[in-house]
Amino acid sequence: MKIKDPIAERVIKRIADRSEAGTIKFGDTMDKADKTLEGSIVDTLEELGDAMIYLEKALQIIRKEKTRWNMKNSKTE
């Protein structure tokens, strides 16, 4: 299947790369992993918590840059 959306294509590649890295690191695929449903949910919650921290940091950077840009450009008016 050909993906037309370049963003979706990058996401799919990132997932495939992460899967390959996990298989190398843990020596098995997720399909064959011996993890309970509860363990999978806990792992997912931890990953989502990390994602929230990364997103919050990214948002801070964007807002800081936006403020700098606004200050810089308001001086020229």
Tens of pLDDT, residue by residue over 15-62, are 999 999 999 999 999 888 888 999 999 999 999 999 999 999 999 999
Cα separation of 6 and 77, whole Å? Answer: 39
Q: What is the pTM of this model?
A: 0.67
Rounded to 5 degrees, φ, ψ at 75 are -70, -25
Check whether residue 19 and residue 42 sit in a common domain: no
Q: Which domain holds residue 73?
A: 35-77
Check whether residue 50 and residue 16 sit in a common domain: no
Rg for the chain, CA atoms, rounded: 20
Contact 26, 34 (CB under 8 A): no
Alpha helices in the chain (DSSP H): 6-26, 37-74
Check whether residue 74 and residue 40 sit in a common domain: yes
User: Based on the structure, what is the number of domains in the chain?
Assistant: 2
